Structures are given as structure tokens and as C-alpha cells.
Amino acid sequence: MSDFNFYELLKLIIPQIGILVLVYMFLNHWLERDNISQSRKRKDEFNKLILPNQIHAFERMVLFMERISLSSIIPRLNQPSLSAQEFQFLLTQEISNEYQHNLSQQLYIPNQTWTMICLAKDQMIQEIIQTTQSLSNTATSKDLAVRLLSESAISKGKLSTSSVIEALKKDLYKLV
């Protein structure tokens, strides 16, 4: 009789265990799908908020590179009454100010490209300082401007603003 009760008990317990396993598997699958769905929604919302900022950062950094290029900054800031040293100070100060104004954009720009931006800026400042030092003490802003523009046309091996702009474009195309 005890065997009979044991088998009867097994007949009742096995289906219940099976139902519990099925419910557990269903709930586990449902929760997993819900987590994936929530994660996807968060990512989409994040992209909806961040993507415009990223695109704006790329635009601002392209503008920064254009503004600090010698062919752009020299005509914009040149004042014939300045000495070469005064013009050097004005140029380097403008480049630094432009950079400071755009520092927050590094949040949205890939690290490698941001490093290129910093190197291009530093090389530009260094080139201005070295060219000024190669001129006489009586040199004018016009002398410095002519020398900078002529040297930039023949300089090789330096990270140009145009190469940084190309890197920015490539990163943007990867992003969108």
C-alpha cells in the first residue's frame, strides 16, 4: 500500500514539477526579452539625444580647424601696424582661445582624432613661434604673414588642418 501511495504521489508531483519548470523557463525568457527591449529603448533614446551633439561637435571641430589654418587666420587678424612679435602673440592667443572655446567637444570626438586636433593646434603655434624667431627684431606683421604662408605651402611631414578635417569626416561617416 505504501508503494501505491508513493506512485500516486509521483503522479501528482512530476506534472507539477514540469509545470513549474515550464513557468520558470517562460518567465526567464520573457524577462530576458524585456531586458533586451529596455536596453534597446535606452540605446535609441541615448542616440536620439547624443547623436545631434556628436554631429555638432564634428561641425565645430571642422570650423575650428578652418579658423586656425594659416590661410584663414592671417588675413582675419593681420594688422599692418603690428610688429612680428605682436602679431605672433595675437595669432597664438587666437588659436588658444579658439581651442579653449571648443574643449568640451572632446566628449564626442574619438580619442585618436582628438589627439590629431591637439597636435595640429600645437604644431601651428610652434610654427608661428619658430617663424617669428627666425625674423629680425624689426620685422613687421606683414613679414611674418608672408613667411608663414610661404613656409606652410612648402612644409611637409606636419599634421595639416586639412588632414585633421579629413579624419573628422571619416569619423562622422562611421558614426552615421
Q: Could you give the angle at the alpha carbon of 115 between the alpha carbons of 110 and 119, nearest 5°?
A: 150
Give the span between the Cα atoms of 144 and 87, in whole angstroms: 8
**Please, what is the Cα angle at 115 between 110 and 121, to 5 degrees?**
130
**For 20-44, what is each residue's pLDDT tens digit?**
999 999 999 999 999 999 999 988 8
Mean pLDDT on 53-72 = 95
Looking at the domain assignment, is residue 1 inside a domain?
Answer: no
pLDDT exceeds cutoff 80 at 157: no
How many domains would you assign to the chain?
Answer: 1
**Range of 73's domain?**
53-175
Residue 32 domain-assigned (yes or no): no
- Burial track 1-15 (b if 16+ CB lie within 10 A, e otherwise): eeeeeeeeeeeeeee
Asked if the structure places residue 83 within a domain, the reply is: yes
Look up the pTM and report it: 0.75
* pLDDT score of 152: 79
Q: Is residue 30 part of a domain?
A: no
